[in-house]
Protein backbone atom coordinates (compact mmCIF):
# COMPACT_ATOMS: atom_id res chain seq x y z
CA UNK A 1 0.00 0.00 0.00
CA UNK A 2 2.98 2.31 0.31
CA UNK A 3 4.18 4.40 3.17
CA UNK A 4 1.78 6.40 5.27
CA UNK A 5 1.87 10.16 4.76
CA UNK A 6 3.32 12.38 7.47
CA UNK A 7 0.59 13.78 9.67
CA UNK A 8 0.46 17.02 11.56
CA UNK A 9 0.29 16.86 15.32
CA UNK A 10 1.17 19.04 18.28
CA UNK A 11 4.39 17.29 19.30
CA UNK A 12 7.64 19.25 19.23
CA UNK A 13 10.94 18.06 17.86
CA UNK A 14 14.46 19.32 18.23
CA UNK A 15 16.42 19.70 15.01
CA UNK A 16 20.20 19.79 15.33
CA UNK A 17 22.34 22.03 13.15
CA UNK A 18 24.82 19.66 11.45
CA UNK A 19 27.29 22.51 10.80
CA UNK A 20 27.31 23.74 14.42
CA UNK A 21 29.81 21.12 15.61
CA UNK A 22 32.23 21.63 12.72
CA UNK A 23 32.10 25.42 13.16
CA UNK A 24 32.56 25.22 16.94
CA UNK A 25 29.11 26.69 17.61
CA UNK A 26 27.72 23.58 19.30
CA UNK A 27 26.78 24.58 22.82
CA UNK A 28 25.05 22.74 25.58
CA UNK A 29 22.22 20.33 24.79
CA UNK A 30 19.34 22.30 23.33
CA UNK A 31 21.13 25.64 23.16
CA UNK A 32 19.88 27.97 20.45
CA UNK A 33 23.22 27.84 18.67
CA UNK A 34 23.08 24.09 18.09
CA UNK A 35 19.45 23.28 17.49
CA UNK A 36 16.01 24.57 16.70
CA UNK A 37 12.72 23.66 18.28
CA UNK A 38 9.64 23.49 16.16
CA UNK A 39 6.18 22.12 16.26
CA UNK A 40 5.49 19.29 13.82
CA UNK A 41 2.29 21.04 12.86
CA UNK A 42 4.51 23.80 11.44
CA UNK A 43 6.56 21.47 9.24
CA UNK A 44 3.97 18.87 8.26
CA UNK A 45 1.93 19.36 5.17
CA UNK A 46 -1.83 19.45 5.45
CA UNK A 47 -2.64 15.78 4.82
CA UNK A 48 -6.16 15.48 6.21
CA UNK A 49 -7.61 15.63 2.70
CA UNK A 50 -5.01 13.17 1.38
CA UNK A 51 -5.64 10.81 4.31
CA UNK A 52 -9.41 10.98 3.80
CA UNK A 53 -9.00 10.31 0.09
CA UNK A 54 -6.74 7.36 0.88
CA UNK A 55 -9.33 5.90 3.28
CA UNK A 56 -12.05 6.26 0.65
CA UNK A 57 -9.87 4.42 -1.88
CA UNK A 58 -9.27 1.61 0.58
CA UNK A 59 -12.98 1.45 1.39
CA UNK A 60 -13.73 1.27 -2.34
CA UNK A 61 -11.35 -1.70 -2.62
CA UNK A 62 -13.01 -3.40 0.36
CA UNK A 63 -16.47 -2.76 -1.11
CA UNK A 64 -15.46 -4.29 -4.44
CA UNK A 65 -14.05 -7.36 -2.69
CA UNK A 66 -17.30 -7.82 -0.80
CA UNK A 67 -19.42 -7.23 -3.91
CA UNK A 68 -19.15 -10.88 -4.92
CA UNK A 69 -21.26 -10.63 -8.07
CA UNK A 70 -19.65 -7.32 -9.14
CA UNK A 71 -22.97 -5.55 -9.69
CA UNK A 72 -21.93 -2.37 -7.86
CA UNK A 73 -24.02 -3.13 -4.78
CA UNK A 74 -23.25 -4.87 -1.50
CA UNK A 75 -25.94 -7.43 -0.85
CA UNK A 76 -26.89 -8.83 2.52
CA UNK A 77 -26.10 -12.37 1.36
CA UNK A 78 -22.61 -11.29 0.20
CA UNK A 79 -21.79 -9.74 3.56
CA UNK A 80 -23.03 -12.85 5.37
CA UNK A 81 -21.20 -15.31 3.11
CA UNK A 82 -17.82 -13.58 3.37
CA UNK A 83 -18.09 -13.10 7.12
CA UNK A 84 -18.99 -16.77 7.66
CA UNK A 85 -15.78 -17.70 5.86
CA UNK A 86 -13.72 -15.12 7.77
CA UNK A 87 -15.11 -16.37 11.10
CA UNK A 88 -14.32 -19.97 10.12
CA UNK A 89 -10.77 -19.00 9.20
CA UNK A 90 -10.32 -17.23 12.53
CA UNK A 91 -12.05 -19.70 14.84
CA UNK A 92 -12.51 -23.02 13.04
CA UNK A 93 -15.95 -24.52 13.67
CA UNK A 94 -18.53 -21.77 14.06
CA UNK A 95 -22.29 -21.64 14.47
CA UNK A 96 -23.37 -20.67 10.94
CA UNK A 97 -26.96 -19.93 11.97
CA UNK A 98 -25.87 -17.62 14.79
CA UNK A 99 -23.41 -15.78 12.55
CA UNK A 100 -26.02 -15.53 9.80
CA UNK A 101 -28.37 -13.78 12.24
CA UNK A 102 -25.56 -11.54 13.52
CA UNK A 103 -24.51 -10.29 10.07
CA UNK A 104 -28.09 -10.02 8.84
CA UNK A 105 -28.84 -7.80 11.85
CA UNK A 106 -25.67 -5.77 11.21
CA UNK A 107 -26.66 -5.23 7.59
CA UNK A 108 -30.22 -4.25 8.43
CA UNK A 109 -29.32 -1.99 11.35
CA UNK A 110 -26.51 -0.16 9.58
CA UNK A 111 -26.97 -0.40 5.83
CA UNK A 112 -30.59 -1.08 4.81
CA UNK A 113 -33.46 -1.93 7.18
CA UNK A 114 -35.11 -4.17 4.56
CA UNK A 115 -31.94 -6.03 3.57
CA UNK A 116 -31.86 -4.46 0.10
CA UNK A 117 -28.51 -4.10 -1.70
CA UNK A 118 -26.64 -0.86 -1.00
CA UNK A 119 -24.34 1.24 -3.19
CA UNK A 120 -20.82 2.23 -2.20
CA UNK A 121 -22.02 5.59 -0.83
CA UNK A 122 -24.06 3.92 1.95
CA UNK A 123 -21.29 1.41 2.71
CA UNK A 124 -18.73 4.25 2.90
CA UNK A 125 -20.88 6.30 5.29
CA UNK A 126 -21.31 3.31 7.60
CA UNK A 127 -17.64 2.35 7.52
CA UNK A 128 -16.45 5.91 8.17
CA UNK A 129 -18.66 6.00 11.27
CA UNK A 130 -17.33 2.60 12.40
CA UNK A 131 -13.74 3.75 11.87
CA UNK A 132 -14.26 7.11 13.59
CA UNK A 133 -15.93 5.39 16.55
CA UNK A 134 -13.11 2.84 16.81
CA UNK A 135 -10.11 5.15 16.35
CA UNK A 136 -10.05 8.80 15.24
CA UNK A 137 -6.46 8.49 13.95
CA UNK A 138 -6.47 8.38 10.15
CA UNK A 139 -3.39 6.19 9.85
CA UNK A 140 -4.87 3.69 12.31
CA UNK A 141 -8.07 3.72 10.26
CA UNK A 142 -6.08 2.94 7.12
CA UNK A 143 -4.44 -0.01 8.85
CA UNK A 144 -7.82 -1.31 10.03
CA UNK A 145 -9.26 -1.16 6.52
CA UNK A 146 -6.10 -2.79 5.09
CA UNK A 147 -6.65 -5.68 7.53
CA UNK A 148 -10.30 -5.97 6.43
CA UNK A 149 -9.10 -6.03 2.81
CA UNK A 150 -6.59 -8.80 3.55
CA UNK A 151 -9.30 -10.86 5.24
CA UNK A 152 -11.76 -10.31 2.38
CA UNK A 153 -9.10 -11.31 -0.18
CA UNK A 154 -8.42 -14.52 1.70
CA UNK A 155 -12.12 -15.26 2.21
CA UNK A 156 -12.78 -14.91 -1.53
CA UNK A 157 -10.31 -17.73 -2.16
CA UNK A 158 -12.54 -20.03 -0.09
CA UNK A 159 -15.85 -19.10 -1.75
CA UNK A 160 -17.89 -22.18 -2.59
CA UNK A 161 -15.99 -24.36 -0.13
CA UNK A 162 -18.28 -24.63 2.89
CA UNK A 163 -16.16 -26.84 5.13
CA UNK A 164 -12.48 -26.13 4.61
CA UNK A 165 -11.05 -26.49 8.12
The whole-number pLDDT of residue 8 equals 42
DSSP state of 88: H
Q: Are 61 and 149 in contact (CB under 8 A)?
A: yes
The whole-number pLDDT of residue 47 equals 44
Specify the 3-state DSSP secondary structure of 87.
helix
pTM, to two decimals: 0.68
118 and 62 belong to one structural domain: yes
Distance in angstroms (rounded) separating the CA atoms of residues 59 and 117? 17
% helix / strand / coil in the chain, to the nearest 5?
55, 5, 35
Domain assignment present for residue 92? The answer is yes
Which residues are registered as beta bridge partners of 36? 15
Domain range for 24 is: 12-43
95 and 29 belong to one structural domain: no
29 and 63 belong to one structural domain: no
Each residue's pLDDT tens digit, 52-95: 579 999 999 999 999 999 999 999 999 999 999 999 999 999 99
Distance in angstroms (rounded) separating the CA atoms of residues 148 and 60? 12
138 and 71 belong to one structural domain: yes
The whole-number pLDDT of residue 4 equals 45
87 and 20 belong to one structural domain: no
The whole-number pLDDT of residue 28 equals 52
The whole-number pLDDT of residue 69 equals 97
| Domain total in the chain | 2
Residues 6+ apart with CB under 8 A from 56: 124
64 and 121 belong to one structural domain: yes
Residues of the chain with pLDDT under 70: 1-52, 162-165
Domain assignment present for residue 131? The answer is yes
39 and 53 belong to one structural domain: no
Domain assignment present for residue 6? The answer is no
29 and 83 belong to one structural domain: no
Amino acid sequence: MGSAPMRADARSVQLRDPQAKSEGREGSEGSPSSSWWCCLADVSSDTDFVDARSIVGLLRELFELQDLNSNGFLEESELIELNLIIASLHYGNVDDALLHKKYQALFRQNLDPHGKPVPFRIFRQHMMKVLDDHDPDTIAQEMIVEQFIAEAQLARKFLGIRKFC
